[in-house]
Amino acid sequence: MKDSLGLNLMRRRLIILLTGAIACLTAFSPAHADGPFGYPASLLDAPATLDEPAANFLRLGKPKIELWNTPMEAAAAFTGATRLREGRGYFARDYMCLSGTEGGKPVLAWVISSDTKNVTEVQLEYAPDETPGFCKKMTAEHLPLRLGKVGLGMTKADVLKTVGPASYADGAGWHYWFSQQYLRNSRNLQELELTWLAVFIQKGRVEKAFISLVKNP
């Protein structure tokens, strides 16, 4: 009962952190705002079926930005990207935009820090017709952009072969890999760590994806 209660509280915290100052949006919105996309409501329906994360870092060629372990300040310094902020109080989050290409098509990576100084989320999506001017273009040595081993344009079969069966698929294109771990922190206290990899598949290929990590307060 205690674990179930803790997990439910963490899920409530997650919805606050991931939505920032805006409500959850569906994956099918045709408009593109100059900022991270909204998360699907089905995110919280996924059961925790994994003991280890399917993906918990953004790879930029060989270097990587790790969820929770990489400070947002360090990520900005390494990439040269501009840090932006939206929202207030508990709904505040910092983010920056990286641009690159995948299969000849322009892509964006949104690196996000919610309620902490460290990177907590990364999103990948194809760029709109005009890439936002504040997005930092990555050089060839820092491409491709990948969430773990998952990238845009991969087929559904390749994703499943790479990370295994999904924890949950919502029937509308979103597939989730959700892990739950109990770890010991630097003070030797037990903490709950929840990590998501989410992939939106359309016409058999990855159109957008994100990773997110939340720890208990």
Per-residue pLDDT tens digits for 108-144: 999 999 878 999 999 999 998 889 999 999 999 999 9
- At 14, the pLDDT band (50, 70, 90 cuts) reads low
Residues sharing a CB contact under 8 Å with residue 42, sequence separation 6 or more, in sequence order: 168, 170, 172, 174, 176
Q: Could you give phi then psi for residue 105, rounded to 5 degrees?
A: -105, 140
Alpha-carbon span 182 to 215, nearest angstrom: 10
Mean pLDDT of 74-92: 89
Alpha-carbon span 22 to 7, nearest angstrom: 23
Element at 193 (helix H, strand E): strand 190-202
pLDDT at residue 187, as a whole number: 75
- Cα 104 to Cα 97, 108, 139, 140, 174: the distances in Å are 19, 13, 14, 12, 24
pLDDT at residue 33, as a whole number: 60
CA dihedral 198, 70, 105, 61 (to 10 degrees): -120
- At 30, the pLDDT band (50, 70, 90 cuts) reads very low
Per the omega criterion (within 30 degrees of 0), is the bond before 144 cis?
A: yes
